[in-house]
Chains A and B, each alone.
Chain A
């Protein structure tokens, strides 16, 4: 039962990572922009949802506010800043988007203070359900998993069966060719950026009732999201999905079981220290191994 519960925990963490890395991988793969502000969009989503939830008490309105807030912020950022960076090299992009992180964090501090915000869990979801005898799991986390899977399905349909999806796939393979064929690439870019921001906002809004909504929350998940993008392969939504689940499971299972396993072969305190150290490296080790074996990521055709 413990193993099953930990697997569910891993999947739930993986879903949060997926929502973040799906946007990142699209923006990075298709537009060629390293977008460090993605974590800030996650924070914007969480803050917008938290504020609306506190004002109205409605979880649904809060979710919509989180989505809208992040999408609007994303589109504004694209129009004002990112648009000027497409032709520049990665260093300029990193500098500009890093500056945006500082600006957004400082603005949030000035507007809302450094104290974390309280977000009420929707009352209908604030309980645990018994899945199997002995396996009790918080309902809210199950809903998060379900929403994540639906989003993944929706994205798969969007990418594989619509005209926009076709352009996205074409863009990920050969940006120059799409442009040469006369597609309005600027509009496509803005849409993709908005979509990525929307997903980040969704992740942020859903994280609100679980985590502490506070300045700097985006950077904590951003680094792992980049790792997922590298593992899954740049530009691949499928890669982001499986990469995120893999990273979520590895991180959770190592954390949960490695110290116990090590304790069988060495003294308790050493096992704890080593276990904690190794498990926090786990995801990065995975990335290193993937880079060795498949340098372009798991789900991208290696040339």
Chain B
């Protein structure tokens, strides 16, 4: 009996293997953060990516694909191990998925050194955007700094003269503060780096209160942002000191979890659920039907990444071995992004429009993140000129 079942299992595996060989779907490796407080970020990227594959009937750009998802647990070392396994054991050439810049910092060089291609659906650290840019490294989301440069621009337009700024102490946090300061014309009255695993911000809030700035700029992605906003409200600061943030500090999930603490918040973003273009309407309808939960901008990026990869695969007929051909096809960016206009800059990071959003109470009494106005058009990033490709 036991022997029989082992033989049976072996046979099943072998049949599975031959079936797979006959069909040969292109394997795409997705390393993303699925556990811990950052878990919903990776979950949205994964689900939206899979949604795009499903909507195209298991294919991207007419090429059958299979997406292999692994959880990096927000640990750079774990991400490296997974990448190693995907590249060497499973011979995957095309990777994507990383949420956090510290994981990207460890994984991306390994992928590129091994001759692979990496397409980023989220993290866009400054370290890979300037002179260390790479032909096989594409970013679909944004460059970290530009995300927060737009917040600086928004703060200027709102007329704030002094700002207190804080972010977690890791690559994306440093990019965030550098980006905001590059654009903000007022005075920085306080600057704090918090821990990436910090949950209580009472010490920082006390400093903000003492510094009496015109406004606060903060970058606290995922669960960090939820804790920060709620504690900000509990400390009675919401009514006293307004806040200007970029989209990672307030996504659809954060908004639902913080409730009234987010009311009146100024947000800058490259995408929002209410964007009025056909691609976005199609995406939002499909997302709501499939998952029935708030779509975050992480989801929009996961979806766009799948579309961009699809466009490139269509151009090469599904081949990823010739990275130059893949690059030619990829850089055309021949897909309809849910954010509207999209093209690649010289460092293969996006050139796109940015918008000011505000959290307002709708007629139904619930809070909505509404798009107010465009603040930057066809904006690239501050590192593109250093990149020589």
Contacts and interface: CB of A to CB of B under 8 A. Distances in A.
Interface of A: 1-2, 5-6, 9-10, 12-13, 16, 105, 109, 113-118, 120-121, 126-128, 136, 138, 140-141, 209-212, 214-217, 219-221, 252-253, 255-256, 259, 268, 272-273, 275-277, 280
Given A138-B235, A210-B227, A280-B195, A217 B37 contact: yes
Interface stretch (B4-12, B116-124, B186-194, B379-387): B186-194
Given A9-B202, A255-B203, A116 B35 contact: no
A214 B235 contact: no
Contacts of B223: 116, 212, 214, 217
A115 B203 contact: no
Contacts of B357: none
A129 to B, nearest CB: 10
A115 B257 contact: yes
B200 to A, nearest CB: 6
Pairs of residues from A and B, 3 with the lowest C-beta to C-beta distance, nearest first: A216-B36, A9-B202, A276-B193
Contacts of B236: 127-128, 136, 138
From B34, B169, B204, name the one whose CB has the most chain A CB atoms within 10 angstroms. Answer: B169
A128 B200 CA distance: 17
A20 to B, nearest CB: 13
Nearest to A136: B236
13 contacts: A16-B200, A114-B43, A118-B257, A140-B234, A209-B234, A210-B227, A211-B227, A212-B37, A212-B227, A212-B230, A220-B199, A259-B193, A276-B192
A13 B202 contact: yes
Contacts of A9: 200, 202-203, 206
Interface of B: 34-37, 39-40, 43, 169, 191-195, 197, 199-200, 202-204, 206-207, 209-210, 223-224, 226-227, 230-231, 234-236, 253, 256-259, 293
A211 B199 CA distance: 6
Contacts of B200: 9, 13, 16, 210-211
Contacts of A280: 169, 195
A105 B257 contact: no
Contacts of B204: 255-256
A261 to B, nearest CB: 13
Contacts of B36: 215-216, 219
A79 B340 CA distance: 58
A273 B170 CA distance: 10
Given A128-B236, A217-B37, A255-B203, A210 B193 contact: no
A113 B231 CA distance: 23
Contact of A268 (B169, B191, B226, B231): B191
Task: Give the one of A120, A210, A275 with max B CB within 10 A.
Answer: A210
A3 to B, nearest CB: 9
A250 B199 CA distance: 16
Contact of A210 (B230, B253, B256, B257): B230
A116 B195 contact: no
A105 B35 contact: yes
A215 to B, nearest CB: 6
A78 to B, nearest CB: 26
B40 A115 contact: yes
B195 A5 contact: no
A220 B223 CA distance: 12
A126 B234 contact: yes
A2 B43 contact: no
B234 A138 contact: yes
B257 A212 contact: yes
Nearest to B40: A114
Contacts of A216: 35-37, 39
Nearest to A12: B202
Nearest to B236: A128
Contact of A276 (B34, B169, B224, B226): B169
Contacts of A118: 256-259
Contacts of B193: 259, 272-273, 275-276
